[in-house]
Amino acid sequence: MSVDRKARTQAPTAPKARGAAATPIAHLTPEERMARGKAARNETPRRGHGTWRPATDRPDPVDLLESQAASRVPELVPIRYGRMMVSPFTFYRGAALIMASDLAATPRSGLNTQLCGDAHLSNFGMFGSPERRLVFDINDFDETLPGPWEWDVKRLAASFEIAGRDRGFAPAERRAIVSGGVAEYRERMQQFAGQRTLDVWYAHIDVETVFEELKSSITKKQQARTQANIAKARTRDSMQAYTKLTHEVDGHRRLVSDPPLVVPIEELVPAGSARDDINGELHALIRSYRRTLETDRRELLESYRYVHSARKVVGVGSVGTRAWILLLLGRDEEDPLLLQAKEAQESVLERFVGKSKYANSGQRVVAGQRLMQAVSDIFLGWQRVTGLDELQRDFYIRQLRDWKGSADVDTMSARVMSAYARLCGATLARAHARSGDRIAIASYLGTSEAFDKAIADFSAAYADQNELDYQALVDAVASGRVQAQTGL
C-alpha cells in the first residue's frame, strides 16, 4: 500500500518455494539427535561464541543503514536516524542489518531453527490471546527466517548488556543479567528436550502466572508497578485506540492527523479521481487480504466495513517502511476494528543465510510468526500490491492493538532487569523449540555454564562495537552525510 496514485492488488497464491523439490524428512531417534548436538559442539566449541572482533573488511555501519533507506519513504528516513540517535540502545534497536552482517562472520553451531531475526529485549511483550488471556511472547517478526539459533540468543543477550549500560548498571550487574538470561534459555531448552512434541507445541507463558512466580523476587513497589502495567495492557485495545486516534468529521469517524507520524489518506493523495481510485483499491486490498485468513476469521472480517486509512510511522528500525492504519466499523460507530498493514521487505538475514522459501515477504513474516508464537492475532494475514510504478510491495496485517503491553526498560532496576532477562530467555527457548531440533540444541548447550559465560563475553565486546557504530551515525549526521529529524 504505497501512496501511488493508483494501485492494483495481486490475489494471494500458494507459497512458492525456491529451489529443488522437498526431500523426505529424516526422523532421528533421541539418541541420534543428542549425538548430533555433541558432534556440533566438537566442531564449534561453546567457548568460541565468546569472541568478537570486527572483520578487517567489515562494512561501514552507516553504509548499511543507507542501503536500507533506498527502498523506504524518503521523507521518513530522517526520523529513523533521529530515533536511532537517542542512545546506543535505540541505535541497537534499529541496527538489525548491521548485527546480522557481523554475526555472519562468527562461529556457527550448524543447528538451525526459525529465527526472530531481531530478538532484542524490546521486541518481547504482552498481548491478548484469542481465548482472552494475557500472554507474553516475542512480538516482532519483520526479519524472521530460518537460521542459526545462536544468532537470536546473541542479539537478545547483547541487548541486555547495552540496556544495562544505558541504565548505569555496574559491569558485574550487567554480566549477571546477561548470563542469567542465557542460562534460562539453556535450562528451558533442556526441559523442552525431555518433553513430548505436543507438550512443547502447546507451551505458552501466561502473564498472571509469571507475575505470581516473580513476586517473591521483587519489591512491593515493583510488584505494584508490574500490576499497573498488566492492568494498562488490558485497556490497550481497539476501543482505546479508536478513542485516541479518531475524531468526528462531518458526522463520520476519521483518523486524526498528526504529521508526519500519522497522515490520513486524503492528505497524501489529491482530491478527485485519484483519491477515489485509492479508496476503491483499499476495499480490494482488504478483500484480497481476507483470503489469507482461516475460514471463520474471514467471516468475522466480513462483518466490518472499511471507513478510513492513514499512513503511520512505527518503531525505530522500521521507520521509513510503509505502514498504514485501517479503520473498520462493525455494528455501529461503537464497534471499531483497527488494523495495521505494515510493509514487509526482504529479511536482513537473507543476505547471509539464503533467500526465504516464500516469494512474498508478507507471507514470510506471517509464517514465521505463527511458527514461533504460542498464539497469534486472529487477524494476522498478508497481501501484495503493485503500484503504477510497477513495483510490488508486500504487507502483513494484524490488529493495531489487542491488550498490548511492554516492559518499561527506562525504569528497570538491575534486579527487575535480571528477572526480565530470564523471562525473555525462557520465551526464546520455547519459540526455538517449536521448529528447531530441541534435543540437539540442548545437547550442544549441555548443563555447564560454558555457553552462558561465552555469550556474556560476546555481549560485552559487542556492546563496545555498538557504541562505536552509534558514534559513527552521530558523526555522519554532524557532517551532513545523512539527515536526522529528532524529537519524533
pLDDT of residue 353: 97
For the segment 74-82, the average pLDDT, to the nearest whole number, is: 96
Return the percentage of the chain with pLDDT > 90, whole number. 73
User: Which is higher by pLDDT, 187 or 385?
Assistant: 187
46: cell is 561453546
Q: What confidence score (pLDDT) does residue 63 get?
A: 98
133 has a pLDDT exceeding 70: yes
- At which residue does the C-alpha cell 543503514 appear? 65
The reply to whether the predicted model has a pTM over 0.85 is: yes
pLDDT of residue 26: 83
pLDDT over 80 at 235, yes or no: no
Residues 89 and 166 sit within 8 Å (Cβ to Cβ):
yes
pLDDT tens string 147-187: 999 999 999 999 999 999 999 999 999 999 999 999 999 99
pLDDT of residue 120 exceeding 60: yes
What pLDDT shows up at residue 5?
Answer: 42
The pLDDT of residue 263 is above 60: yes
Burial of 223 (0-12, 13-18, 19+ CB in 10 A): middle
Q: What is the pLDDT of residue 275?
A: 64
For the chain, the C-alpha Rg in angstroms (whole number) is 23
User: Who contacts 288 (Cβ-Cβ below 8 Å, separation ≥6)?
Assistant: 9, 10, 11, 12, 383
